[in-house]
A and B are shown apart, each in its own frame.
Chain A
Amino acid sequence: MDKSINSKKFHLNKTTRSNLITYGMVIAAYIIVQILVNGGHVTSLMKGLLVPLCIYSIMAVSLNLTVGILGELSLGHAGFMCVGAFSSSLFSLLMLETIPNAGIRFFLAILVGAASAAVAGIIVGIPVLRLRGDYLAIVTLAFGEIIKNVVNVIYLGKDSRGLHISLKNATELNLEEGGQIIINGAMGITGTPKNATFTIGVILILITLFIVLNLINSRSGRAIMSVRDNRIAAESIGINITKYKLMAFAISASLAGVAGVLYSHNLSSLTATQKNFGYNQSIMILVFVVLGGIGNIRGSIISAVILTLLPELLRGFNTYRMLIYAIVLIVMMIFNWAPALIDFRKRHSLKRYFSKNTEEKEAS
């Protein structure tokens, strides 16, 4: 009897505690990395990976909101990242002289990237989320491919007469002497200010976590998860399922847009290619989510970090690199999902030892 009361107390703060662990984990990782960087223990190759780590963590959390919390499959998440990257880069370049303060300009660029990706999410979501079944997967897959190709044919330039746009080539823009081409078709955008730093990336991860975790543990989050668990029952208790599906998807898309802003402001030249915004990228992020645990936000970040670092760490193995990578994927899959191992982890988890201790303390 006594035990059950204690375990109930333990349960009560379980989500809050778990969320705090997640925030703490990110902050601790940040501090450790900063110490290592300042001590000169980090190679320049690794330093170059710090911002991408933040980008992929945000992408994984964002996709987990769609896959794990909303229960819909998105196969074109990199497409939303692409929208965020290009819109924010465009904004930063246009405002380069108007807003000289880099901090304010980058902050606004983040908002622009998030907003335009959210709009893209809503446009895709309005028709598709009304349907039942796997239509979202099909449509997002197409969206990801289409947006990449659309971006590749846009030519946009600026001169004293204003903005010029063309879908054919740069000469069609008819720019004046001294005019500047901002988006140059398949050559993309060059000269985006490099505002993205590891610190900003970590802050954005924390904000992403704050939004997603707080959403999950609120009235709207419950509504979203109830739609995921049983659509008919959710309707029967008066939950407007289209509204909540669209809300979750738009938030997820806008966070992917934020990751895109980090991406574009980390490179001097931004192009939309198969490699960065293509199908493979979307699937890779889905792999992060699945291996980290569907619906498990903390797991998404951990697996995004491990799986982004791993190929680089394994460079020494040369030919066997991808082989080892594949084995790690398989082992992670088994470790996370095999029933026998889940049991084993439960029996030997730290949490269990902690709860035992508190029970003993309270009993005495």
Chain B
Amino acid sequence: MALLEIKNLGISFGGLRAVDNFSITIEKGQLYGLIGPNGAGKTTMFNLLTGVYKPSSGSIMLDGENITGKKNVEINRAGIARTFQNIRLFKDLTVLDNVKAGLHNGYPYGTVTGILRLPKYFKVEKEMTEKAIELLKVFDLDKEKDHLASNLPYGKQRKLEIARALATNPKLLLLDEPAAGMNPNETAELMDTIRFVRDNFDVSILLIEHDMKLVSGICEKLTVLNFGQVLTQGDTADVLNDPEVIKAYLGE
């Protein structure tokens, strides 16, 4: 059974049909790319998927569960986590606390337990810290764990966002332009990290990216969006050689 099945998804803002008739199927463990020119509706797609916007038509099934029109908090609990195009970290929290915030639902204890410092507080906090450091090590951020998130260099902030999203233990990870603003070396390193995450965290990844090197390097399948509609989808190599796609990107 497919992990994510979207059928005929659409949304309108006033008279503008931002996304129309969008369908996609993502298998377990797949690395899927969503590409398209600026303004094609890629980020709108992510916002629909994570419940920031409510779709006006169509359905979203995650692992057999219908999550269409649910709130973003419920969708995260159902198993979708994301990063943002414009980084949204908790800037006045430390790197470690950013990841621990991501572990919020996975390691519960009550507010009263926290205030009274009952034994459970120390036990769960210790487990949380260990898990968070384990995640930070994957992204080579463990040395900076006590820095404020806002003091990290740009590339590391992007990585921290991925770590925080992974902390919610998702089935599907959405990455919105993870390589934006990175130099070629950082991008190459990021590609390795994304592959590592897919292989070790039992998670499927859907990513939006403009860096074709990254897209062709790691994505197994691609969907191309143009003016809110699917232009073409299929295996990466086929899609990238499609004359329609080249036309959409470069013009006639």
Contacts and interface: CB of A to CB of B under 8 A. Distances in A.
Interface stretch (A29-37, A166-174, A235-243, A350-358): A235-243
Interface string B79-114: 001101000111111000110111011011101011
B168 interface: yes
B111 A222 contact: no
Contacts, number: 104
Interface in A217-232: 217-223, 225-226, 228-230, 232
Contact of B115 (A211, A222, A237, A240): A211
Given A225-B92, A226-B90, A232-B88, A237 B104 contact: yes
Given A218-B121, A222-B93, A230 B114 contact: no
Nearest to B71: A235
B146 interface: yes
A214 B73 contact: no
A232 B168 contact: no
B76 interface: yes
A218 B93 contact: no
Q: Interface range on chain A: under 10, 10 to 19, 20 to 34, or 35 or more?
A: 20 to 34
* Size bracket of the B interface: 35 or more
Interface string A207-221: 000110011011111
Contacts of A235: 72-73, 76
A3 interface: no
Q: Which of A8, A11, A229 has the most CB of B within 10 A?
A: A229
Interface in B56-77: 72-73, 76-77
A234 interface: yes
A236 B72 contact: yes
B52 interface: yes
A239 B73 contact: yes
Contact of B89 (A210, A225, A230, A295): A230
Given A233-B89, A233-B90, A238 B111 contact: no
Given A225-B90, A240-B73, A219 B107 contact: yes
Nearest to B84: A233
A120 to B, nearest CB: 20
A222 B100 contact: yes
23 contacts: A214-B115, A214-B116, A214-B117, A218-B113, A219-B104, A219-B125, A223-B104, A228-B92, A229-B89, A229-B90, A230-B88, A230-B91, A232-B52, A232-B88, A233-B88, A233-B89, A233-B90, A236-B50, A236-B76, A236-B81, A236-B84, A238-B104, A247-B111
Nearest 8 CB-CB pairings of A with B:
A218-B114, A238-B76, A229-B90, A233-B88, A11-B146, A220-B111, A226-B101, A235-B72
